[in-house]
Amino acid sequence: MMNGKTIKKSGETIEKREKLKILVVDDQSGMRETLSDILQDAGYVVEAAVDGYCAIKKAGKQFFDIILMDVIMPGINGVEAIKEIKKLNSQTKFILMTAYSAETLINEAVKLGIYQYINKPFPPEQIISILENINKNKTKNDE
């Protein structure tokens, strides 16, 4: 696939974009599976992790453009997982998801440079819109 390049096909101009690779990290299986399905249906390459430790392990083996990270999880919280993953790859963008009032953790994550945080539950259109903005900016930077 041509990364962010325009190609001609039968007189049509077609924008070819590399698909974003996304990791969904949430300890709640329903949320993790539903979000993964929505993103796959939208054309993204998606993997899932059950907790922060699993996310760190996966991020150590492969690059993810974006990681959707739950804040409150057993073992290691989302912010601690972000710190570890940032050591592995500083180019990954993080979207923090929370269903709780975790202001201290959110503030810490913002200082770490997360792309955005969203409150659960959120409509699928909201996350798709955020991802489209990231993809547009990535494509512009790749040109």
The pTM for the full model equals 0.83
Domain range enclosing 38: 19-132
Output the DSSP codes for the chain.
--TTEEEEETTEEEEE-PPPEEEEE-S-HHHHHHHHHHHHHTT-EEEEESSHHHHHHHHHHS--SEEEEESS-SSS-HHHHHHHHHHH-TT-EEEEEESS--HHHHHHHHHTT-SEEEESS--HHHHHHHHHHHHHHHHHHH-
Tell me the percentage of the chain whose pLDDT exceeds 70.
84
Decide if 14 is inside a domain: no
Within-domain flag for 11: no
Query: Tens digits of per-residue pLDDT, 30-46?
Result: 999 999 999 999 999 99
> 65: closest CA among 94, 87, 39?
94
pLDDT digits (tens, 9 = 90+) for 85-109: 999 999 999 999 988 777 888 888 9
| Domain total of the chain | 1
For residue 125, being part of any structural domain is answered with yes
CATH number, domain with residue 65: 3.40.50.2300
Is 8 within a domain? no
